[in-house]
Every structure is written in structure tokens, then in C-alpha cells.
Amino acid sequence: MKEKEVVIKYGEYQNKEDLGVEDSKLVLSANEATNNSYAPYSDFKVGAAILLDNGEIIKGTNQENSAYPSGLCAERVAIFFANSQFPDAVIKSIAIASQTDRFESDEPISPCGSCRQVISEAENRQKSKIRVIMSGNKCVTRIVEGIENLLPFGFQEDKLKKTCR
């Protein structure tokens, strides 16, 4: 077996002031969105905010359900809403934030596997990378340029095409 290494490139910011105006506004919107989360079972509220190339900011929150698989993550709520309301707009960035009183959650949270795949599909559809901004409750914020930095072996459309008969 030949081993290979996957390199993940990301920026890490210790102070929110270092983010810049556009990213700071998006992180603030994601934090505000957590207040609208429906998370009665986990008490883990997640908010996402998407910046579109037309200047619109779309917010999404996690939506839990007592039949656990029936819920939906904040990132997918925001992406699906953006695609349904602004089908021609390009997603420039998505910021993710969380809050809970149940346990310590100071590190930035990252999108789950399903959300990573949906972000990957959105990138493929719009033919451009999406900046993923992961904001922690303390001062740390991590930013990746393109989902391949979180999903290096993503499942792509070309894998669904027949290659032989």
C-alpha cells in the first residue's frame, strides 16, 4: 500500500476584528440565526448565513424532529432556500455558528458530511468555490477556500455517468 497525505488549507483568526467587514457581517448573521433554531432535543442551536453574489444574505437554522433523521442542518436549510429563491445567484460564502447551554462548545463547528456534500454540489453547479467560515463561541474563526479542504474525496456527478456499456 502506498500512503498519501491530504493537506487541508485554512486560515485561522484569533480575533473577530481581523475578519474584515464582509466576513464579520456574515458571522454576525449566522450567530443571530441561532436564535431561530428549532433544537428542543439536543439544545445545540446552529445558524448559517450565506452571502450571494447579488449581495443578499440568506439565513438558515437547524430544524430538529423527534424522528431524528427527519431534521435538517442549518447549512442545508440556507443553501436550499437560496437556490429556490435566487436560482441564478452564486454562493460566495457561508458562515456557520452555534450556541448551547448544555456543554462547552468553544471551537468552531464544521459542516457535517451531508452538508459538505451539498456544498460540494453547489460549487459544481455554480462552477466556483464557496468560502466556508466556521465561527467559534470564543474568538477563533477558521476559513477554508472551497469545500475540497473539508471534503477531499467528494462524490461528484461524473461518478454517476456510465463509462462503458
Cα separation, 155 vs 149, whole angstroms: 14
Residue that the C-alpha cell 463509462 belongs to: 163
Catalytic one of 75, 107, 121, 123: 75
Sheet (strand 45-52) strand order: 11-13, 141-145, 131-135, 91-99, 45-52, 57-61
Active site residue 75: yes
Cα separation, 33 vs 77, whole angstroms: 12
Residue 91: which of 77, 100, 78 has the closest Cα?
Answer: 78
SS3 (DSSP) at 80 = helix
Residue that the C-alpha cell 424532529 belongs to: 65
Active site residue ranges: 75
